[in-house]
Chains A and B, each alone.
Chain A
Amino acid sequence: MTMTTDVRQAVTARGLTKVYGQGDAAVHALRGIEVGFATGAFTAIMGPSGSGKSTLMHCLAGLDTVSGGEIHIGDVEITKLTDKQLTLLRRERIGFVFQAFNLLPTLTAEQNIRLPLEIAGRQADQVLFDRVIDTVGLGDRLGHRPTQLSGGQQQRVAVARALISKPQVIFADEPTGNLDSRSGAEVLSFLRRSVRELGQTIVMVTHDPVAASYADRVIFLRDGLLVNELHQPTAQTVLDTLLKLEA
């Protein structure tokens, strides 16, 4: 794996290892990952089940602790931070989109979108807010509660929420996993537009080659190791690479 140093990296990991359990029961989920995610790029992480892709994302996002190695988000080494500092970092620099249960059921769509800013005690950039809402096409649904929205609409609210705080990086964990293909395509093209038009950095974990084809670059994991990568992928090239990995 070579690293290009001329492109500014939003997130980097060096010698990243993660072990669950101890002794005989120890499971090595990550066995020394070296990877960088360029600013303003849309990167997908793929791999068979148990390859460690979700663990990698959780570690990169500071949701889980690492067993070894270091992770930088921008110029901050997050592997050295306390829980409190990590929490504040998440608030300020990281956005999240999960597979399901992204929204608080008691809040309206708009309240959900503004929530990260409110937790951080910041004011929303109204121009950005309007633009984000406009892009996701939720204008008439802002007063609705999550139960009154379709799955696709809920995920779009989640993406809007991630974008509104202008984070250094957005981590998306199977954002289309629960959606039908049309809603999934909507969410994915919206993610890509936010990279193109707003210069957002996005790291997405997925097992769907079609979803991965929306990214600028795909990296492949197997047994806790980075084994391959593709630039400007298509669904077909991704699928071929995956099949080779499984073999």
Chain B
Amino acid sequence: MFKTTLAGLLAHKLRLLLTSLAITLGVGFIAGTFVLTDTINAGFAQKFTADAAKISVAVLSKGEDHKVAAAELEKVRAVKGVAEAQGIVSGTAALIGKNGKVAGDFPTAGISIPEGALNRTLITKGAAPKSAAEAVLDENTAKTRGFTVGDTITVLDSASAKQRFTLVGLFDVGVNQELAYTGAVGFTTDTARRMTGEKSFKEIDVLAADGVSPTDLRASVAAALGSAYEVKTGEKLAHDLAAANNMDTQFLTMGLLMFGMIAMFVAALVIYNTFNILVAQRAREMALLRCIGATKKQIFGSIVLESGVVGVISSVLGLLIGLGLGAGAMAVLGALDAPVPVGVGVSLTTRTILVGLVTGIVVTVAAALLPARAATRVAPIAALRSQVEESTVRTGVVRAVFGALFLLAGTGATVAGVSMEPGQSALVVVMASGAIFFLGVLVLGPLIIRPLGAFVGWVPAKIFGVPGRLAVTNSRRNPKRAATTTVALTIGVTLMTLISVITATTRETAGERLDKQFPVDYMIATQQRDSTIPRTLASDLRARPELASVVAIREAEAKVNGRRAEVGTFTADPAFTLTATKGSVKDLGPGTAGVSDGFAKNENVKVGDTVKVAGRDFRVVALLSDDTAPVYGVTIPERDFDSAFPKVADKQLLVNAKDGVTADRSRQIVEAAAQPYPTVLVASSREVRGAFDDALDQILMIITGLLGLAILISLLGIANTLSLSVHERTRESALLRALGLTRPQLRRMLSIEALVLGLIGALVGVALGVSFGWAATQTMMDDITFRAPVGQILSFVALSGLAGVVAAVLPARRAARASIVGSLASS
């Protein structure tokens, strides 16, 4: 039996390869995920170890504040056995770009570059700063801001005063995510402390004298400092950093694995279908084996063995592909300047190999179990029958009932989820009910494929004449097979549609919310959260005739009902309205206050109550929606605010241009006015929206790319089913050719069949995706603006049909090429 199976497999190498490909891709993705994250982890660990090897002992704070008092440095230096000790400074020091404005959305970090053996920063060009007039920049910031070694750079110190430095070198931020995000300027330790205003260190690094072991030194340093600080050896530090980093990459692993699992599920469907067809086609072969004495068990075993071989081959190939994918992803990340370690070898761990092999083999064999059982049902007498029976689907009352039950349960749970309070649990309910509903579709598939085929095939049958009509009948002739083939595609299309519906709805809803929140042309704010805009800017802007309104928002911290809370105000202007959830904003006059919803709930404040703000009583006239309230706390009229906090500068300015003033002109005016204040940034509402749209587009693109794999696998399934069907219908095709069907007509017939299959899969997917996309968005937040991106969804349908046609190219060519005489003879 074993030999027969292997001989059978070897006789059909191409078929074996096609079948394996689905699993290969799935395993490749999963293995690739592990290879990627393992490589990143290994790279980080390597980097941390290399860094930590430079230091013997590190002193860190025990709390979250990352502060080690400066005075401790001298204590450490005095410990016996310490060769050298350096305090590491880390704070903010905003770099001014060439346009005179602070660079980036966040201020650049200001860090110290210690001299000597304890320097852990890699200077890639030029030299480390040696004097108070020198500084270095991280490579990426230097590149994006256009600075080169030798330039003079301007950096704001902690008092926002401009300081000038000579740029003497560039450095690599390595794997420090924070520095990679904000960019960083490096100074000598003293200058760094002056620039950032940090009075303490983030860390004290210690180098042991010759002959002193790090463990001993750790003990003596710890003894000198007392219990307030954590003292670690360099080795322990590297270990802890690597562990923390592994936690981060675990999210990446889990996220990617989810898509890997979807791909594997689709691959399992493809394998299931392939084996089902193979068993059906080889019914006579099985019957012959049974005739000459093979037991049912042996038949079952031979199919399972065959799937096992397919599983092994595809998993091994998948591991190789995974290795390539992992390496490729690393190269792409490296090229995109992502803060990942570069130049480390790709790591293929035992776990990756095990997980890849086990997943691949188990999924393949499991998917082949049902077909293997079907093979044992072939009666020996079937060997003597000349014609293979056409499969007919039993009406399947049980199937219909079960399917309907699943659909009902899914619908019921969805309704329940949608009517729940928006939130995570509602979303989970909707997603789970989506899965149940999908199961229902899976069960009902063979029953709904005929009507769907008739519906989808109506137009092709009309347009393409005989080949069209034959194709549509063919697509419906084996409903079970067609259903499994299309469901594989349905999964991918459903998820794609779901994601595009959710992003479109989010975009639309957020857009509307932005319009409500900032119904303005320009928003002026500072880069740093705790800095303010001098009031002169608002008055300068108000003096410009081209501008219609300038609303200033101010905030301060004060005692509200005895507790510290935020107090805010805004310039009353028709252009800026707040949304009241209770009471009315119109009543907000002298001596009254509006309270934000969240704060009111926490503090148990209602309309009509009195709140004491900075020693004065205010009557609450409105509760404000959290979206539009200037502060999370109490909002009082401008005049009252100014008398309570006369010195508080503006936090934010909202500017509207007059009608008829061009965008270029108004922008020029606003920017010119803001020019003297380097930390003040001007953003137009269009830019805010653009940045948001870009972020959404990026998410959509990444998810689409990841789902693409599942879709690719399902297309392999269509190609596989078609080529097996073509094989099955060799004589039928020959008959048609003999009766006068031309080769192109025969090819067209198969293409249309694939088109119909693709369209059925896509239509079901789109219907599911839109419905559950709607349900999911209902659970995400209140009053959303639902939006289905019609163009995008139509393109999914069109692409699925097209992809089906592409999948049919090779099978169709083979069918058209076959000689009529030869095909008629073969049985």
Contacts and interface: CB of A to CB of B under 8 A. Distances in A.
Nearest to B732: A104
Interface residues of A, number: 28
A121 B736 CA distance: 14
Interface string B802-827: 00000000000000000111001000
Contacts of A100: 386-387
Contacts of A118: 465-466
Interface in A85-119: 87-88, 90-92, 96, 98, 100-102, 104-107, 115-116, 118-119
B140 interface: no
Given A58-B821, A64-B821, A178-B386, A104 B742 contact: no
B735 A98 contact: yes
Chain B: interface size category:
20 to 34
Interface in B314-357: none
A63 B738 contact: yes
B667 interface: no
A90 B740 contact: yes
B477 interface: yes
B739 A106 contact: no
Contacts of B745: 119
Interface string A162-185: 000000000000000010000000
Given A64-B821, A105-B390, A147-B390, A84 B739 contact: no
B735 A87 contact: no
Nearest to A90: B740
A64 B822 CA distance: 9
Contacts of A121: 465
Contacts of B513: none
A116 B477 contact: no
A61 B745 CA distance: 20
A66 B466 CA distance: 30
B277 to A, nearest CB: 16
B741 interface: yes
Nearest to B743: A83
A120 interface: yes
B737 interface: yes
B69 interface: no
Contacts of A87: 737, 740-743
A101 B736 CA distance: 11
A119 B738 contact: no
Contact of B739 (A64, A83, A119, A147): A119
B477 A106 contact: yes
Contacts of B477: 105-106
B771 interface: no
Contacts of B465: 118, 121
Nearest to B472: A106
A77 B386 CA distance: 37
A101 B820 contact: no
A58 B741 CA distance: 17
Contacts of A84: 742-743
Nearest to B738: A96
A52 to B, nearest CB: 13
Nearest to A171: B738
Contacts of B819: 64
Interface in B718-764: 731-732, 735-743, 745
B257 interface: no
A63 B387 contact: no
B473 interface: yes
A142 to B, nearest CB: 17
A115 B743 contact: no
A87 B745 CA distance: 11
Contacts of B824: 63, 98, 101
A104 B740 contact: no
A112 B824 CA distance: 18
B466 A115 contact: yes
Contacts of B474: 106
A177 to B, nearest CB: 11
Nearest to A178: B386
Given A64-B820, A101-B824, A119-B466, 16 more contacts: A64-B821, A84-B742, A87-B742, A91-B740, A92-B740, A100-B386, A100-B387, A101-B732, A102-B735, A105-B390, A105-B477, A105-B732, A106-B470, A118-B466, A119-B740, A120-B740
Closest 5 CB pairs of A and B: A91-B740, A106-B473, A87-B742, A90-B740, A63-B820
Interface of B: 386-387, 389-390, 465-466, 470, 473-474, 477, 731-732, 735-743, 745, 819-821, 824
15 contacts: A63-B820, A63-B824, A64-B819, A91-B739, A91-B740, A92-B740, A96-B735, A98-B735, A104-B735, A106-B470, A106-B477, A115-B739, A116-B739, A118-B466, A120-B740
